[in-house]
Amino acid sequence: MSEVAARVAQVYREDSRRILATLIRLLGDFDLAEEALHEAFFVAVERWQQDGVPDNPRAWLVSTGRFKAIDVLRRRARFKASQPLLLAQLEELEQSEWDVEDVEDDRLRLIFTCCHPALAADAQVPLTLREVCDLTTEEIARAFLSAPAAIAQRIVRAKAKIRDAKIPYQVPSLNELPERLDSVLRVIYLVFNEGYSASGGAQVTREDLTREAIRLGRLLLELLPDPEVMGLLALMLLHESRRSARSSADGELILLDDQDRKLWNAELIAEGCNLVERALTTGRFGPYCLQAAIAAVHAEAPTAGETDWEQIVGLYDVLLRAVPSPVIELNRAVAVAKRDGALAGLTLIEGILERGDLQDYHLAHSARAEFCRQLGRVEEAREAYRRALELTRQEPERRFIEGRLQELTPSNRP
């Protein structure tokens, strides 16, 4: 690969979704913007080879994409001159101007557009993850434990709704922000989660997604210094502080208890803990603040053995009352096991699974397998690990589970 081609590929990896967000705002059409984006990068490979890489590649690509879109609309207008809406769209685009300074916040504008209350609730998050973060429909489907075809249909319908209803690409006014906040926080956290623990692929984490989610969290906090925004940003920072310790140099998964805490980022921990304290002192905190408080207890423990599990279980109790959820129940069960022993945790997890919840969630079966292993219930552990392996799509997790299964084979047991 030539030096210029490598630079184009780098810009695509780092900036393509920001460029797309700006093109969507300028063009008012998701599909046209995606076509313009790819056309712009195609042109860049040839033009940058001849003219050199521009000082501001992102602005160059937005401008090139915009002109490519104008060309597309002109061609359509020649064949569909009877459609006044198409001619009006072309005229508006040709006469419009755009400011390079507007580009930086376009992803936040796009998130609010994708989370507009006019859209179906079950389409808002998938649309944002697809358009803002470039996740595939398969990745989104795994995150939602849903079928890719169903996710694709939601995304198509949401795009059509935005186009037909002319939903504006803008951050809402301060009066409108609070009622739109829950969906946006949920989206940003799902983006972070996909980066912090990738749903599939060869790596444990995707730094590009965690970094982008944190950037969006900071932007949102500037707009609205709400306790839950503080809580979400704190939660992401505290989790991100452990990222470099979560996998080995050769990409193998390292569990929390086994991580080298000297590798944790002290600066992110300090910032996250400070935000937790600020949020909790308001007395108006919610689920993100409580999750951040749990993460802070982990972060402040010098060693795994010194973790205050009593406090963590108490925080999970409060969190469950605020947001009843089988996943939170699972996390609480793990905390109870740390406090009261493996049998106590296993009893809680089996109760969740017997209800029919989390049957397709690999971490529930992994946790059950681990507690069975600790209790010497080898066959049950192997069965649960095999089920977890069937459900796991991330390669480091698969290797970890396969290693556990190998340890439990009769020839390897002491």
Q: Which CATH number goes with the domain that contains 376?
A: 1.25.40.10
The residue count for the chain:
414
Q: Give the model's pLDDT for residue 47.
A: 92
Phi, psi (degrees; rounded to nearest 5) at 238: -70, -40
Q: Give the model's pLDDT for residue 103.
A: 47
Single-letter amino acid, residue 210:
T
Q: What does the block give as tokens for 102?
A: 């507007």
Q: Give the model's pLDDT for residue 267.
A: 97
Q: Which helix (H) or strand (E) holds 354?
A: helix 342-354
Domain membership of residue 162 (yes or no) is no
Domain membership of residue 87 (yes or no) is yes
Domain membership of residue 284 (yes or no) is no
pTM check: above 0.85: no
CATH code at position 20 = 1.10.1740
Q: Give the model's pLDDT for residue 348.
A: 97
- Cβ contact 309:257 at 8 Å: no
Domain membership of residue 3 (yes or no) is yes
Domain's final residue, options 38, 67, 98:
98
CA angle at residue 376 from 370 to 377, to 5 degrees?
75
Q: Give the model's pLDDT for residue 90.
A: 46
Domain membership of residue 155 (yes or no) is no
CA angle at residue 255 from 252 to 258, to 5 degrees?
100
User: Tens-of-pLDDT digits for all 414 residues of the chain?
Assistant: 588 888 999 999 888 888 888 888 888 888 888 999 999 999 999 899 888 999 899 989 998 998 888 887 777 766 555 455 544 554 554 455 545 445 457 877 888 888 888 898 888 888 888 888 778 888 788 766 678 999 999 999 999 999 888 888 887 877 777 778 888 898 889 888 877 876 655 555 677 778 888 988 998 888 788 899 999 999 999 999 999 898 888 888 899 999 999 999 999 999 999 999 999 999 888 999 999 999 999 999 999 999 999 999 999 999 999 999 999 999 999 999 999 999 999 999 999 999 999 999 999 999 999 999 999 999 999 999 999 999 988 788 899 999 999 998 876 555
List Cβ neighbours of 135 (8 Å cut-off, separation of 6 or more): 129, 143, 194
Task: Please give the residue range of the domain that contains residue 21.
Answer: 1-98
Domain's final residue, options 72, 98, 124:
98
Q: What does the block give as tokens for 8?
A: 């184009």
DSSP three-state, residue 253 = strand
Domain's final residue, options 98, 122, 150:
98
Q: Give the model's pLDDT for residue 199.
A: 60
Q: Give the model's pLDDT for residue 361.
A: 93
Number of domains in the chain: 2
Domain membership of residue 7 (yes or no) is yes
Domain membership of residue 68 (yes or no) is yes
Q: Give the model's pLDDT for residue 83.
A: 54
Q: Rg of the Cα trace of the chain? A: 24
Residue 276 CA to residue 280 CA, distance in Å, equals 6
Domain membership of residue 281 (yes or no) is no
